[in-house]
Structures are given as structure tokens and as C-alpha cells.
Amino acid sequence: MNRRKFLQFLAALGCSPWLMSPVKQRDARQFGQVTLMHFTDCHAQLLPMYYREPSLIVGAGAAKQLPPYLAGQAMLDFFGIAKGSADAYALSSVNFAEAARVFGKMGGFAHLATLVKQIREARGHENTLLLDGGDTWQGSATALWTQGADMVAACNLLGVEVMTGHWEFTYGDQRVQALCRAFKGDFVAQNIRLTEEAQFAAGIDSDQVFKPYVIKRCGQARIAVIGQAFPYTPIANPRRFVPDWRFGIEEAHLQALVDGIRQRKEAEVIVLLAHNGMAVDLQLAARVTGIDVILGGHSHDALPRPVVVKNAAGSTWVTNAGSHGKFLAVLDLDIANGRLQNLRYQLQPIFANLLPPDAAMQQLITGIRQPYLEKLRQPLAVTEQLLYRRDTYHGSFDGLLLAALLAVNDAEIALSPGFRWGGSLLPGDVIHYEDVLNQTAITYPNSYVRLMSGRDLQALLEDVADNVFNQDPYYQQGGDMVRVGGISYRCQPEAAMGRRISELRWPDGSLLAADKLYKVAGWAGVGEPLAGLPMDELVCRYLRQGRLS
């Protein structure tokens, strides 16, 4: 669909005016003195793409019927979003394949750059601040092959002023430091510190690895941006990449930072740029006082409205701006008498058909991709179904990875991590090599085959389930549930630890034996380096054999 027809279609559906012309609408309703722009979890996607939002997000505890644990039609109903609208397509999985053919791809740094420039021109460059919540330098073939350099170049051109991180750390500590030197903005993380041994060896007084926060002046106001990197990096990813760094939520240190900024009157507004996951952000907002806004990431939740969390000293606005470059969160701040008084929030979807690409950014992207283009566009197969990754228990693209692990390794059971990142493909789309890398582009991609007992498999699933469904968000340390191929199991999220997983069964309904050993294939282990085929090579081998599942 071309841009003119697309606009006509939006108008016929009665879509919101800000969606059709964001800058014009913003000019008509001037609000506040400062505008924050926030994106997160783009996972190195420089081009527009399809990304299906989850149809199932299973939560635990009292908030399981509230955002961020709403998906599909329940999510649309909660926020009052019309079914069949462009907003519904952007924010949900409902009729995704059909809607995708109407509304087209979303995101892309060239289109994001256009929107950022429009907002800066409308509000005045000096009154805006562009913040990146992390998971930006990883997730694509070119990011992997350039070790993040492509994304640093794109972020510099976009004008990102402050960022924090998570998957960035999987390039290794030295590479991350080199990329931070090339990055023109500030990389902040109050919760990453040197180990005692590393600090002693370096002979330095401070154990802080990155700046904990920065003060940015926007017009007449000062904004403090505190960085909160993913607290569980050495658990969710290999520890060997950052052997000298300690991670954690560091709640007490964060409270001390906030108190110090307030006492010294360094800023009128305090923002936490976080990569915790929204469940952690909500709990943190209730326990740490003095933060005005938490701009969240990690869990890929796209929220049309922020959540206001009450705490002992007032309240904190908590937001999350989705993932894969689909959205830009825009927060207009009304500041008076030295404090934030109110804010206006808009989660602006980035439709590639609606926003023309920025010429300079498009030229940069073309130059980045050109040396790899022939390799990236290698056709492998054609899919007959919608391929997607995100859901609590399973995604159809994960199913393809599992089928490849089973077939290539002649295994009985397959395991694949519950990663949330990776684009979607529509029925009838060609699967190119780039599409496979969009699901597997990590620095520890190797596969493995090992013997595991039924008891060991159940224990592994129990451990992952405790990370995903723990009622205390501070103990939720990973992504979605590990994906399992070859067998099924029963999961009771609300059960106590050690009692969530049961009934591991073969397709014929028979149970696995606790003491019997089974041939299990998997990939992306976080322990010692593995010697098996890299996952992208394994999947390509499977698809080239014409064995698409």
C-alpha cells in the first residue's frame, strides 16, 4: 500500500489525529517546557519490520490482570483501542497477519529519525532530550558482524543523548568500553560496579564502571537522568563477558543518589532510564522515593498510557516504550516551582508508510548494509504460516528453531531460550539468511547435544519458571519460558517453587521417565563456550534441506 492510500485508509477508520499528523497535533496543544523522547529494545533493527506483539503474557501475583500482563483483545479493551484500527495493529496480536498487509512494516531508524527531527523542530532542539533504554547494539546480522559499531553510528546520527544497556554487554567489557568512547552521548548505569578484586588491581578509589547519572539542561530546566542497566546480566548472559563487573538492582544506592540530587538541588526533574523489565520498575517505583519518571525497557511492553505508582513521598510515572523501533514515547513535562507538576504522554507508533525516511539516516543505513547485502538476502525457504517469537510459552519462529535442533542433531528433545527479540514473517514470505540472524545474532550462538534425565529436565524447567513467574519481581531474572520441542509439559505459574512443572509427556501421551537419559539439543548456553554448530548455520542447514516446519 502506498502512502496516499495508507493515509486514506487511516482516515476512513477514524484513527486518532496525533497518529496521522503528530507534529501538527502537538503544535495545536502546546504543553510544558521540556520534551523527553524515549525508545528502547530496538535490537539493532535499522530497517522497518514486522513484529507481532504477544497474544499471551502470563503474570503472577496481585497485578496479573493489569498491564503489563495484558495482551491481545484484553489489552485493547483495557485501553479502549478500537479493533481493526492502526493502533490495534501496532499494539496487539489481534488479526496480525491481515492487519500487517494493510498497515505495513513499522520502525526503521530512517523513519524514526524523521519523527525525532519533527518533534525537535516543533519544540525547539534546546527543549528536547532523546533517551535510549538499551538493547540497541545487538540483535541483527550487521550489529553482530560490526560488533555494535553500526548501531553506534546510527545512534550518533540520530542524536541519542543518554543510554543504558543490557545485551550490549555480551560484546565483552573491553568492546563495550570502546563503543562507549565512540558513542557521542552518555552511557549511564548506577548499578554496575567493579568487583573488589578488579578495583584493587586497578588501584582506584571508585568502583563505579559507568557514570551513575548525568544532568542535562533543557531550556531553563535541568533533568537528572540516572542509568539502571539490566540487573541480572551475569545470570541471563555469560558471566565471562564481564568478569570484573558486579550487577544488581542496587535499590539503596539508587535511593541515596536520588536523595543527593534533591538535597543538592541539581535538577528539577529526576528520570530513571531503566532496563529492569516493567514488573521490576513498578516495584522499584513503590519503594524508592523522589523519582519523577521511570522510562522502562527489557520486557518489550508497549503501553499507551503510563502507570502512576504511589509511594511514601508522592508518586512516580512508569512507562515502557515497546521494542524493535516500533514506537517513540514522547513525554511533555510541565515544570514549575522547581519540580515536575504534570506531564503529557504519547506513545507514537512509527509506520514506515506514514513517515518518510530521513535522507541522511537512509544513506548511512545503505552504506552499513551494502558490503553484506548479498549474504543477507540469501533465500532459504518460504513460510506458509505467520512466524513470530513473542509469547510466554512458545512462538512459531521458536518452533522452527526447535525443529532444526531436533532434525539436524537427531535429538529427542530440544531447548531454546525464551528470547523476546526477533522479527515476524507473514505467510508466504521468503525466509532470508537475515531473518534467521534476526533470531540468532548473539556472541554465544553455538549449539550442544547432551544426555539429560527426565528429572534433570523437570528441574531445569522449574528453575526457568521460578525466574518467569516468581511473585516477587526482583527475582524475575530472564525473558519468557524456555521453548521446548519434542515433548509437552504442564505449568502452574501460581504454584510454589518446585511444584510448577509436571507431566512431561511425549506426543503419544506417555510420560518421560525420571531416571532415563534422553538426547537433548539446545543452544546459547550461558556456561563455558560450546563447540556445536552456531545456531544460524544449523537453521540454514535445516531450511536448505527443504524441511520447513
Domain boundary among 345, 367, 389: 367
DSSP string, 319-332: EEB-STT-EEEEEE
How many beta carbons lie within 10 A of that of residue 265, not counting itself? 9
CB 126 within 8 A of CB 237: no
Assess if residue 143 is contained within a domain.
Answer: yes
Is the pLDDT assigned to residue 501 strictly greater than 60?
Answer: yes
Report the C-alpha gap between 228 and 254 in whole angstroms: 9
Is the pLDDT assigned to residue 319 strictly greater than 90?
Answer: yes
Count of domains observed in the chain: 2
CB 450 within 8 A of CB 402: no
* Same domain for 476 and 347: no
Is the pLDDT assigned to residue 211 strictly greater than 50?
Answer: yes
Report the C-alpha gap between 415 and 403 in whole angstroms: 10
Assess if residue 129 is contained within a domain.
Answer: yes
The pLDDT confidence band at residue 66, using thresholds 50, 70 and 90, is confident
3-state secondary structure 255-269: HHHHHHHHHCCCCCE
Assess if residue 281 is contained within a domain.
Answer: yes
* Same domain for 351 and 455: no
Q: Tell me what the mean pLDDT of segment 207-215 comes to.
A: 98
Kindly give the residue spans of alpha helices, DSSP state H, lying in 329-416.
Answer: 359-369, 373-376, 396-409
Give the domain extent around 533: 377-544
Is the pLDDT assigned to residue 29 strictly greater than 60?
Answer: no
Report the C-alpha gap between 516 and 512 in whole angstroms: 8
Assess if residue 140 is contained within a domain.
Answer: yes
Is the pLDDT assigned to residue 24 strictly greater than 60?
Answer: no
The pLDDT confidence band at residue 476, using thresholds 50, 70 and 90, is confident
Domain boundary among 367, 393, 410: 367
Assess if residue 549 is contained within a domain.
Answer: no
* Same domain for 181 and 50: yes
Is the pLDDT assigned to residue 484 strictly greater than 70?
Answer: yes
Report the C-alpha gap between 502 and 461 in whole angstroms: 9
* Same domain for 526 and 408: yes
Is the pLDDT assigned to residue 19 strictly greater than 50?
Answer: no
Residue partners of 531: CB distance under 8 A and separation at least 6: 446, 448
Is the pLDDT assigned to residue 27 strictly greater than 60?
Answer: no
Whole-model pTM?
0.94
* Same domain for 287 and 261: yes
* Same domain for 401 and 350: no
- How, if at all, do strands 517-523 and 162-163 pair? unpaired
* Same domain for 336 and 410: no
Q: Which of these, 140, 114, 146, lies nearest to 360 by C-alpha position?
A: 114
- How, if at all, do strands 447-453 and 517-523 pair? antiparallel
User: Percent of the chain at pLDDT above 70?
Assistant: 94
* Same domain for 347 and 298: yes
Q: Which of these, 484, 69, 422, lies nearest to 277 by C-alpha position?
A: 69
Cα–Cα distance list, 310 to 60, 224, 249, 314, 491 (Å): 21, 21, 20, 6, 33
Report the C-alpha gap between 494 and 539 in whole angstroms: 35
CA 59 to chain centre: 18
Assess if residue 170 is contained within a domain.
Answer: yes
Assess if residue 537 is contained within a domain.
Answer: yes
Report the C-alpha gap between 215 and 233 in whole angstroms: 26
Report the C-alpha gap between 378 and 181 in whole angstroms: 34
Q: Tell me what the mean pLDDT of segment 107-134 comes to.
A: 97
CB 537 within 8 A of CB 448: no
Reduced to 3 states (helix: H, G, I; strand: E, B; else coil), residue 415 is: strand
Q: What angle do CA 489, 492, 496 make, to 5 degrees?
A: 120
CA 244 to chain centre: 25
Is the pLDDT assigned to residue 4 strictly greater than 90?
Answer: no
- Specify the CATH number for the domain of residue 106: 3.60.21.10
* Same domain for 437 and 532: yes
Report the run of H or E that residue 221 belongs to, with start and end: strand 221-228
Q: Tell me what the mean pLDDT of segment 168-190 comes to.
A: 98
Domain boundary among 367, 401, 427: 367
* Same domain for 316 and 221: yes
Reduced to 3 states (helix: H, G, I; strand: E, B; else coil), residue 254 is: helix
* Same domain for 194 and 83: yes
Helix pair 433-440, 535-544: axis angle to 10 deg: 140
* Same domain for 354 and 381: no
- Specify the CATH number for the domain of residue 440: 3.90.780.10
- Average pLDDT of every residue of the chain: 93
What cell numbers appear for 177 in the block? 568500553
How many beta carbons lie within 10 A of that of residue 225, not counting itself? 26
What cell numbers appear for 115 in the block? 519523527
The pLDDT confidence band at residue 437, using thresholds 50, 70 and 90, is very high
Q: Which of these, 189, 169, 63, lies nearest to 473 by C-alpha position?
A: 63
CB 165 within 8 A of CB 230: yes
Cα–Cα distance list, 403 to 48, 248, 399, 483 (Å): 28, 36, 6, 11
Tell me the per-residue pLDDT of 398-425, one tens digit each, with 9 for 90 and over.
999 999 999 999 999 999 999 999 999 9
Q: What angle do CA 9, 15, 21 make, to 5 degrees?
A: 90
Q: Tell me what the mean pLDDT of segment 67-95 comes to.
A: 95
Reduced to 3 states (helix: H, G, I; strand: E, B; else coil), residue 287 is: helix
Is the pLDDT assigned to residue 526 strictly greater than 50?
Answer: yes
CA 160 to chain centre: 17
**Dihedral angle, C-alpha 286, 289, 293, 299, nearest 10 °:** -40
Assess if residue 185 is contained within a domain.
Answer: yes
